[in-house]
Amino acid sequence: MSLSAEELSIVWLSLKVALVATFASAIPAIAVAWLLARGRFWGRTALNVLVHIPLVVPPVVTGYVLLRVFGRRGTIGAWLEQYLGFQFSFRWTGAALAAAVMAFPLVVRAIRLGIEQVDRKVEESAATLGASPWWVFLTITLPLALPGLLAGLLIGFAKALGEFGATITFVSNIPGETQTLALAIYTQIERPGGEAAATRLIWLSVALSVLALVASELMIRSRQRSDA
């Protein structure tokens, strides 16, 4: 399968957006996952619902909310552009933000499951020996939950790679700037004579997503074997 220079550019942009979205959501996802797995506080259920909202509402709703908040006239977006010169709307950074928001619930869920599988007695033993909560988390909880963390990031990457609805609503479909694989496939399907190009991009998109999902599954199985 031979790709044109334009198609290779689309693939590179998609990988860049997905990677930035995945790594940008990593630290917030770890923090939220830990709160949901170990925290006992008022509002925990509300936080859990808020995290998973992007999974249950139409993606176009998420994209519209991002536009109202991070757009050039949005409450945060206007401030960022005026004082920091940073813009999300109609930029690849906005595509990464939309992808990160849509992938965030899946990343949190996988990391939370990884943390919940860590034996709390090990954490408690370290605490009784004088380790601070932060030190327990960094040296015990996080390393033991690493397979879940990596699996979550890979699942998030696969989700970000295929994000469509929130992205096109928030940053439009601009070739060379915001046109990722999913948006390029949509463009080719709508264009007369674009079936061949669409088919090439579809197979490539499926292959990249399957690779990420297979890697995630292998990590989960590796953790299960080590626990056995």
Residues of the chain with pLDDT below 50 are none
Kindly report, residue by residue over 175-187, the tens digit of the pLDDT.
889 899 999 999 8
Question: At 43, which helix (H) or strand (E)?
Answer: none
Residue 227: the pLDDT is: 59
What angle do the packed helices 181-190 and 5-38 form, to 10 degrees? Answer: 130
Q: Where are the alpha helices (DSSP H) in the chain?
A: 5-38, 44-56, 59-70, 77-79, 92-116, 120-128, 133-136, 142-144, 146-161, 165-171, 181-190, 195-227
Residue with tokens 């995290």: 51
What angle do the packed helices 195-227 and 181-190 form, to 10 degrees? Answer: 150
Cα-to-chain-centroid distance, residue 43: 24
For 200, the domain range is: 5-227
Q: Are 188 and 201 in contact (CB under 8 A)?
A: yes
Kindly report, residue by residue over 159-175, the tens digit of the pLDDT.
999 899 999 999 998 88
Residue 224: the pLDDT is: 61
DSSP conformation letters of 62-125? HHHHHHHHHSTTSTTHHHIIIII----TTSHHHHHHHHHHHHHHHHHHHHHHHHHTS-HHHHHH
Residue 225: the pLDDT is: 66
| CATH number (domain holding residue 67) | 1.10.3720.10
Query: Which tokens sit at 108?
Result: 């949190």
Residue 168: the pLDDT is: 93
Residue 81: the pLDDT is: 86
| Number of folded domains that form the chain | 1
Residue 216: the pLDDT is: 74
Residue 223: the pLDDT is: 62
Kindly report, residue by residue over 62-94, the tens digit of the pLDDT.
999 999 999 888 889 889 888 888 889 889 999
Residue 195: the pLDDT is: 86
Residue 169: the pLDDT is: 93
